[in-house]
Amino acid sequence: MQNTSHAVMAQRTEAKDSLDDFPTPPWATRALIEHVVGAGGLRQQICLEPACGAGHMAKVLAEYFGDVRCSDVHDYRYGAVKDFLKKPLAINSADWVITNPPFRLAEEFVLRSLPVARKGVAILARTVFLESVGRYDRLFQKHPPAKFAQFTERVPMVKGRLDRKASTATGYGWLVWEKGHSGQTQLVWIPQCRKALERGGDYELPAPPVAALKTVTAPTAGVRREARANKAQESLFGM
């Protein structure tokens, strides 16, 4: 039976200026790699987490990726402080962009991430993100995700902290855009995996990484040269 005192309902609403600080339980990020994307080759890759909050997703990404760069618009004492939607970004400067963005800005986060990522973009979002004529017109029709991976278990998220005992009535899934993908979006089911993917220490506050201040900032001359060389690739996303 659902614990309504902790439940976060599907119709959860946040103020327009809210940071939407709902940290991701670590097992839900491991589920992306283990059940959707696959861990092969990630050690050699760069992952950007541009809305890292207190680092609960970034620290899991660092279990798989060789280099995780993180930032957030608010200072959570974890990553660098940057507004992802405003700061200059270098094209193709990360292999992956992976995050759990604020719901009301998720579409903008994806559109901003697509040219930054060489290989793909993955966002964790409420399942209802798939709805809406506007989002279809502006995002899904122009940039169809390669996969939508629906959690079969609920992923309880509460404001401002992780809570092992929280429950929720909200469904969540991972939306994954892969460079080079065209055509239909594949529906994937993420099997029950919370128990298998939870680790000791998951619900403690992560220590800031040494690389916390490495972020994708204004392009250097080298990056600009690479960006020009990669101009053709941008058209993959029709940007």
Question: Which residues of the chain form contacts with ligand SAM (CB under 6 A)?
Answer: 19-24, 50-53, 56-57, 72-74, 83-85, 99-102, 105
State in angstroms the smallest separation of the CB of 125 from ligand SAM.
Answer: 10
State in angstroms the smallest separation of the CB of 182 from ligand SAM.
Answer: 29
State in angstroms the smallest separation of the CB of 32 from ligand SAM.
Answer: 11
Which is nearer to ligand SAM, 173 or 181 (by Cβ)? 173
Which is nearer to ligand SAM, 50 or 145 (by Cβ)? 50
Distance between CA atoms of residues 177 and 232, nearest Å:
18
Q: Give 86's DSSP letter.
A: T
- β-pairing, 80-81 vs 117-126, is unpaired
- Which class for 211: exposed (0-12), middle (13-18), buried (19 or more C-beta within 10 A)? middle
Which is nearer to ligand SAM, 58 or 181 (by Cβ)? 58
Phi (first) and psi of residue 216, to 5 degrees: -85, 110
State in angstroms the smallest separation of the CB of 183 from ligand SAM.
Answer: 29
State in angstroms the smallest separation of the CB of 175 from ligand SAM.
Answer: 14
Which is nearer to ligand SAM, 123 or 146 (by Cβ)? 123
Distance between CA atoms of residues 131 and 216, nearest Å:
31
- Which class for 47: exposed (0-12), middle (13-18), buried (19 or more C-beta within 10 A)? buried
Q: Give 158's DSSP letter.
A: B
Return the SS3 of 96. Answer: strand
Q: Rounded to whole angstroms, what are the CA distances from 143 to 18, 111, 140, 223?
A: 27, 9, 5, 25
List, edge to edge, every strand of the sheet that includes 147-151.
80-81, 67-72, 46-49, 94-99, 117-126, 172-178, 147-151, 186-190
Which is nearer to ligand SAM, 26 or 145 (by Cβ)? 26
State in angstroms the smallest separation of the CB of 50 from ligand SAM.
Answer: 6
Which is nearer to ligand SAM, 26 or 181 (by Cβ)? 26
Which is nearer to ligand SAM, 28 or 139 (by Cβ)? 28
State in angstroms the smallest separation of the CB of 165 from ligand SAM.
Answer: 18
Distance between CA atoms of residues 118 and 94, nearest Å:
6
